[in-house]
Amino acid sequence: MTKFHAVMIDETGCEFGVSVTARSREAAFDKLREDYPESRCDQLESPADTRKREQRMYRQAERDY
């Protein structure tokens, strides 16, 4: 099981964060749709996704500065 973090957009356009534990990315999307039918998932990250995004950001910062 993996703990995912999602950025959701509600029916009024406001963002809110949600954590969900699921066996796969697809299962996480299914659970979010089930738990928040009025909202949409704007971003879904696993800890590995977060690590990769941060590493890219730091590499870019090193090149730029």
The pLDDT tens digits of the residues spanning 35-61 come to 999 999 999 999 999 999 999 999 999
What residues contact 35, with CB distance under 8 A and at least 6 apart?
A: 18, 20
Q: What is the mean pLDDT of residues 12-24?
A: 97
DSSP state of 1: -
pTM: 0.79
Closest CA to 7 of 64, 52, 48, 50: 50
3-class SS string, 45-65? ECHHHHHHHHHHHHHHHHHHC
